[in-house]
Amino acid sequence: MPRFFIREDNIFSDYALIIGDDARHIGRSLRMKIGEEITLCCNNTDYICKIQSITDTSVRAEIMSVNRTQTEPDISLVLFQAVPKSDKLDFIVQKAVELGAVKVVPVITRRCVSRPDKKVFEKKRMRLKKISEEAAKQSGRGIIPEIGEIIDINEYYEQAKDFELNLFCYEGGGERLCDIASLKSAKNMSLLVGCEGGFDEEEAEAVINNGAIAVTLGKRILRCETAPVCAISIIMSITGNI
Protein backbone atom coordinates (compact mmCIF):
# COMPACT_ATOMS: atom_id res chain seq x y z
CA MET A 1 0.00 0.00 0.00
CA PRO A 2 1.39 3.47 -0.86
CA ARG A 3 2.74 5.27 2.19
CA PHE A 4 3.06 9.02 2.82
CA PHE A 5 4.18 11.14 5.74
CA ILE A 6 1.78 13.94 6.67
CA ARG A 7 1.87 16.77 9.19
CA GLU A 8 -0.07 16.52 12.44
CA ASP A 9 -2.23 19.55 11.58
CA ASN A 10 -3.56 17.74 8.51
CA ILE A 11 -5.06 14.95 10.62
CA PHE A 12 -8.64 15.50 11.75
CA SER A 13 -11.04 13.34 13.77
CA ASP A 14 -12.15 11.04 10.95
CA TYR A 15 -10.20 12.16 7.90
CA ALA A 16 -6.76 13.39 6.84
CA LEU A 17 -5.51 15.71 4.10
CA ILE A 18 -2.50 15.15 1.87
CA ILE A 19 -1.41 18.41 0.30
CA GLY A 20 1.30 19.67 -2.08
CA ASP A 21 3.54 17.44 -4.20
CA ASP A 22 2.32 14.24 -2.56
CA ALA A 23 -1.29 14.97 -3.64
CA ARG A 24 -0.18 15.44 -7.23
CA HIS A 25 1.93 12.28 -6.96
CA ILE A 26 -1.04 10.23 -5.73
CA GLY A 27 -3.31 11.39 -8.55
CA ARG A 28 -0.89 11.72 -11.45
CA SER A 29 1.99 9.28 -10.94
CA LEU A 30 0.37 6.54 -8.87
CA ARG A 31 -3.01 7.14 -10.61
CA MET A 32 -4.84 6.18 -7.44
CA LYS A 33 -8.63 6.27 -7.43
CA ILE A 34 -11.35 7.15 -4.95
CA GLY A 35 -11.97 4.20 -2.63
CA GLU A 36 -8.38 2.93 -2.75
CA GLU A 37 -6.42 2.45 0.48
CA ILE A 38 -3.38 4.43 1.50
CA THR A 39 -1.21 4.56 4.64
CA LEU A 40 -0.53 7.99 6.11
CA CYS A 41 2.14 8.23 8.74
CA CYS A 42 2.76 10.88 11.38
CA ASN A 43 4.85 10.69 14.57
CA ASN A 44 5.31 6.95 14.57
CA THR A 45 1.58 6.33 13.99
CA ASP A 46 0.10 4.73 10.87
CA TYR A 47 -3.35 5.86 9.67
CA ILE A 48 -4.88 3.37 7.27
CA CYS A 49 -7.15 5.50 5.08
CA LYS A 50 -9.52 5.25 2.14
CA ILE A 51 -9.31 7.97 -0.51
CA GLN A 52 -12.42 10.18 -0.68
CA SER A 53 -11.36 12.86 -3.18
CA ILE A 54 -8.33 13.68 -5.33
CA THR A 55 -7.23 16.99 -6.87
CA ASP A 56 -3.77 18.17 -7.97
CA THR A 57 -3.38 20.09 -4.72
CA SER A 58 -5.06 17.94 -2.10
CA VAL A 59 -6.25 14.43 -1.39
CA ARG A 60 -8.83 13.79 1.33
CA ALA A 61 -8.84 10.34 2.90
CA GLU A 62 -11.13 8.77 5.50
CA ILE A 63 -9.29 7.31 8.49
CA MET A 64 -10.22 3.62 8.80
CA SER A 65 -7.81 2.55 11.57
CA VAL A 66 -4.95 3.94 13.63
CA ASN A 67 -1.94 1.87 14.72
CA ARG A 68 1.49 2.51 16.15
CA THR A 69 4.08 2.03 13.36
CA GLN A 70 5.72 -1.37 13.79
CA THR A 71 9.05 -0.59 12.17
CA GLU A 72 10.76 1.85 14.54
CA PRO A 73 13.71 0.52 16.56
CA ASP A 74 13.32 0.61 20.35
CA ILE A 75 16.57 2.57 20.64
CA SER A 76 17.23 6.15 19.67
CA LEU A 77 20.51 6.34 17.73
CA VAL A 78 21.88 9.68 16.52
CA LEU A 79 24.69 9.58 13.96
CA PHE A 80 27.26 12.38 14.23
CA GLN A 81 29.05 12.18 10.88
CA ALA A 82 32.22 14.12 10.08
CA VAL A 83 31.55 15.78 6.71
CA PRO A 84 33.09 13.73 3.87
CA LYS A 85 33.98 14.89 0.38
CA SER A 86 31.61 15.06 -2.64
CA ASP A 87 28.12 13.60 -2.19
CA LYS A 88 28.98 10.83 0.26
CA LEU A 89 26.81 12.44 2.94
CA ASP A 90 23.75 11.84 0.71
CA PHE A 91 24.57 8.15 0.68
CA ILE A 92 25.24 8.04 4.43
CA VAL A 93 21.92 9.76 5.25
CA GLN A 94 19.99 7.37 3.00
CA LYS A 95 21.55 4.28 4.56
CA ALA A 96 21.39 5.54 8.17
CA VAL A 97 17.66 6.20 7.73
CA GLU A 98 17.00 2.76 6.22
CA LEU A 99 18.87 1.14 9.09
CA GLY A 100 16.98 3.01 11.79
CA ALA A 101 18.90 6.12 12.96
CA VAL A 102 16.64 8.87 14.35
CA LYS A 103 18.85 11.81 13.37
CA VAL A 104 22.02 12.58 11.42
CA VAL A 105 24.16 15.53 12.50
CA PRO A 106 27.00 16.65 10.20
CA VAL A 107 30.14 17.56 12.18
CA ILE A 108 33.27 19.44 11.13
CA THR A 109 36.35 17.69 12.51
CA ARG A 110 40.01 18.65 12.09
CA ARG A 111 40.57 16.49 9.03
CA CYS A 112 37.43 17.52 7.11
CA VAL A 113 38.40 18.89 3.69
CA SER A 114 34.89 20.25 3.09
CA ARG A 115 34.21 22.86 5.83
CA PRO A 116 31.02 24.76 4.94
CA ASP A 117 29.61 27.20 7.53
CA LYS A 118 26.05 26.87 8.81
CA LYS A 119 24.60 29.29 6.23
CA VAL A 120 26.30 27.70 3.22
CA PHE A 121 25.32 24.25 4.46
CA GLU A 122 21.61 25.14 4.76
CA LYS A 123 20.95 24.43 1.06
CA LYS A 124 22.64 21.05 1.31
CA ARG A 125 20.72 20.37 4.53
CA MET A 126 17.42 20.89 2.69
CA ARG A 127 18.53 18.27 0.15
CA LEU A 128 19.54 15.87 2.92
CA LYS A 129 16.11 16.32 4.52
CA LYS A 130 14.49 15.27 1.25
CA ILE A 131 16.79 12.24 1.05
CA SER A 132 15.82 11.36 4.62
CA GLU A 133 12.10 11.63 3.82
CA GLU A 134 12.45 9.50 0.68
CA ALA A 135 14.44 6.83 2.54
CA ALA A 136 11.96 6.89 5.43
CA LYS A 137 9.06 6.36 3.03
CA GLN A 138 10.79 3.61 1.09
CA SER A 139 11.95 1.70 4.16
CA GLY A 140 8.64 2.07 6.02
CA ARG A 141 9.88 4.17 8.94
CA GLY A 142 7.42 5.69 11.41
CA ILE A 143 9.21 9.05 11.51
CA ILE A 144 11.25 11.17 9.14
CA PRO A 145 14.69 11.23 10.76
CA GLU A 146 15.97 14.75 11.36
CA ILE A 147 19.03 16.27 9.73
CA GLY A 148 20.76 18.46 12.30
CA GLU A 149 22.49 21.76 11.59
CA ILE A 150 26.17 21.39 10.81
CA ILE A 151 28.22 21.71 14.01
CA ASP A 152 31.86 21.80 15.07
CA ILE A 153 33.45 19.32 17.46
CA ASN A 154 32.84 21.58 20.50
CA GLU A 155 29.11 21.56 19.79
CA TYR A 156 29.35 17.78 19.51
CA TYR A 157 30.82 17.69 23.05
CA GLU A 158 27.86 19.75 24.24
CA GLN A 159 25.22 17.59 22.49
CA ALA A 160 26.90 14.35 23.59
CA LYS A 161 25.83 15.11 27.18
CA ASP A 162 22.24 14.24 26.26
CA PHE A 163 23.00 10.56 25.57
CA GLU A 164 23.27 7.56 27.86
CA LEU A 165 26.06 6.20 25.68
CA ASN A 166 28.40 7.86 23.18
CA LEU A 167 30.24 5.65 20.71
CA PHE A 168 33.02 6.73 18.41
CA CYS A 169 34.46 4.73 15.49
CA TYR A 170 38.22 5.08 15.75
CA GLU A 171 40.70 3.63 13.27
CA GLY A 172 43.31 3.86 16.07
CA GLY A 173 41.49 0.99 17.78
CA GLY A 174 38.93 0.49 20.50
CA GLU A 175 36.44 -2.00 21.85
CA ARG A 176 34.43 -4.30 19.64
CA LEU A 177 30.76 -3.26 19.61
CA CYS A 178 29.70 -6.70 20.84
CA ASP A 179 31.95 -6.35 23.90
CA ILE A 180 30.33 -3.12 25.10
CA ALA A 181 28.00 -4.31 27.86
CA SER A 182 26.13 -1.01 28.20
CA LEU A 183 25.13 -1.18 24.52
CA LYS A 184 22.62 -3.91 25.31
CA SER A 185 20.72 -1.76 27.84
CA ALA A 186 21.14 1.80 26.53
CA LYS A 187 18.05 3.22 24.85
CA ASN A 188 19.55 6.48 23.77
CA MET A 189 22.96 6.69 22.15
CA SER A 190 25.16 8.59 19.74
CA LEU A 191 27.68 7.35 17.19
CA LEU A 192 30.48 9.59 15.93
CA VAL A 193 32.14 8.60 12.63
CA GLY A 194 35.11 10.34 10.98
CA CYS A 195 35.60 11.65 7.44
CA GLU A 196 38.10 10.24 4.90
CA GLY A 197 41.13 11.17 7.00
CA GLY A 198 39.66 9.78 10.19
CA PHE A 199 40.57 11.47 13.46
CA ASP A 200 43.68 13.33 14.44
CA GLU A 201 45.20 11.63 17.55
CA GLU A 202 44.74 14.66 19.79
CA GLU A 203 41.12 15.05 18.68
CA ALA A 204 40.45 11.34 19.27
CA GLU A 205 41.87 11.67 22.78
CA ALA A 206 39.65 14.68 23.46
CA VAL A 207 36.56 12.76 22.25
CA ILE A 208 37.45 9.87 24.58
CA ASN A 209 38.13 12.26 27.48
CA ASN A 210 34.68 13.71 26.84
CA GLY A 211 33.24 10.29 27.68
CA ALA A 212 32.85 8.54 24.33
CA ILE A 213 33.84 4.87 23.97
CA ALA A 214 36.26 4.25 21.10
CA VAL A 215 35.03 1.42 18.89
CA THR A 216 36.91 -0.69 16.35
CA LEU A 217 35.31 -1.98 13.17
CA GLY A 218 37.95 -4.66 12.66
CA LYS A 219 41.29 -4.85 10.93
CA ARG A 220 40.21 -3.91 7.43
CA ILE A 221 40.16 -0.21 6.62
CA LEU A 222 36.58 0.80 5.87
CA ARG A 223 35.79 3.82 3.73
CA CYS A 224 34.23 6.67 5.66
CA GLU A 225 30.84 5.99 4.08
CA THR A 226 31.03 2.25 4.81
CA ALA A 227 31.88 2.68 8.50
CA PRO A 228 28.54 4.20 9.65
CA VAL A 229 26.52 1.64 7.65
CA CYS A 230 28.54 -1.20 9.18
CA ALA A 231 28.39 0.21 12.74
CA ILE A 232 24.65 0.99 12.66
CA SER A 233 23.91 -2.51 11.28
CA ILE A 234 25.84 -4.13 14.13
CA ILE A 235 24.32 -1.85 16.80
CA MET A 236 20.80 -2.62 15.53
CA SER A 237 21.60 -6.33 15.59
CA ILE A 238 23.05 -6.27 19.13
CA THR A 239 20.08 -4.26 20.47
CA GLY A 240 17.57 -6.64 18.87
CA ASN A 241 16.41 -4.23 16.18
CA ILE A 242 17.68 -6.24 13.20
Residues in touch with its own copies (CB under 8 A): 70-71, 95, 98-100, 138-141, 176-178, 216-223, 226, 229-231, 233-234, 236-238, 240-242
Residue 16, helix vs strand vs coil = strand
Of the two residues 17 and 234, which places its CB atom closer to its own copies in the complex? 234
Distance CA 192, CA 184 (A): 18
Contact 52, 64 (CB under 8 A): no
Of the two residues 95 and 124, which places its CB atom closer to its own copies in the complex? 95
Distance CA 63, CA 40 (A): 9
Of the two residues 7 and 223, which places its CB atom closer to its own copies in the complex? 223
Contact 160, 152 (CB under 8 A): no
Of the two residues 27 and 228, which places its CB atom closer to its own copies in the complex? 228
Of the two residues 10 and 71, which places its CB atom closer to its own copies in the complex? 71
CA–CA distances in Å: residue 103 to residues 129, 145, 169: 10, 5, 17
Residues 6 or more apart in contact with residue 225 via CB below 8 angstroms: 84, 88, 91, 92
**In whole angstroms, how close is the CB of 229 to its own copies at the nearest point?**
5
Distance CA 221, CA 179 (A): 20
**In whole angstroms, how close is the CB of 91 to its own copies at the nearest point?**
9
**In whole angstroms, how close is the CB of 26 to its own copies at the nearest point?**
20
**In whole angstroms, how close is the CB of 117 to its own copies at the nearest point?**
31
**In whole angstroms, how close is the CB of 133 to its own copies at the nearest point?**
15
